[in-house]
């Protein structure tokens, strides 16, 4: 399924739920997390609905590569200059809450709310 009508991130991609976007291209979208843990906290998501890392196949490798390369670029653009954390939560024990693959990118001066 390339799009899940019940998925909150698919709704953000479709513009049905507002978000503070920081980046968009044909394949990826990035926006500020609604409950930031850190001074800068963005989510990088593929426009393709992939529920979690469990669903990944070899064909998705370039997409994951693009997400990884985008993270430092966005952190730099958002003024993060002293390091950042990237996290992908997977499944119940991984603490995943939204089942549309996303990479958290968090940075900014400490202390942070969490982590």
Positions in the binding site for ligand 5GP (CB under 6 A): 8, 17, 19, 31-35, 43, 89, 95-98
Concerning whether 104 is annotated as a catalytic residue, the answer is no
Q: Restricting to residues 45-104, which ones interact with Zn ion according to CB under 5 A?
A: 49, 100
Minimum Å gap between C-beta 112 and Zn ion is 27
Q: How far apart are CA 97 and CA 14, in angstroms?
A: 20
Minimum Å gap between C-beta 107 and Zn ion is 25
Contact assessment for residue 12 and residue 4, using Cβ atoms and an 8 Å cutoff: no
34: partner contacted, choices ligand 5GP, Zn ion, none (Cβ within 5-8 A by kind): ligand 5GP
DSSP code for 53? G
Minimum Å gap between C-beta 51 and ligand 5GP is 11
17: partner contacted, choices ligand 5GP, Zn ion, none (Cβ within 5-8 A by kind): ligand 5GP
What are the tokens at 43?
Answer: 């989510």
Number of residues located near Zn ion, criterion CB under 5 A: 6
| Residues annotated as part of the active site | 102
């Amino acid at each position: 399924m390339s799009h899940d009508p019940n998925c909150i991130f698919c709704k953000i991609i479709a513009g049905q739920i507002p978000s503070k976007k920081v980046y968009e291209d044909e394949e990826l979208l990035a926006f500020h997390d609604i409950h930031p843990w850190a001074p800068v906290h963005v989510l990088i998501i593929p426009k393709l609905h992939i529920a979690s890392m469990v669903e990944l196949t070899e064909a998705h490798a370039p997409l994951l590569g693009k997400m990884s390369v985008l993270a430092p670029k966005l952190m730099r653009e958002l003024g993060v200059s002293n390091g950042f954390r990237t996290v992908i939560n997977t499944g119940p024990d991984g603490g995943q809450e939204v089942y549309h693959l996303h990479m958290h990118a968090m940075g900014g001066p400490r202390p942070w709310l969490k982590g």
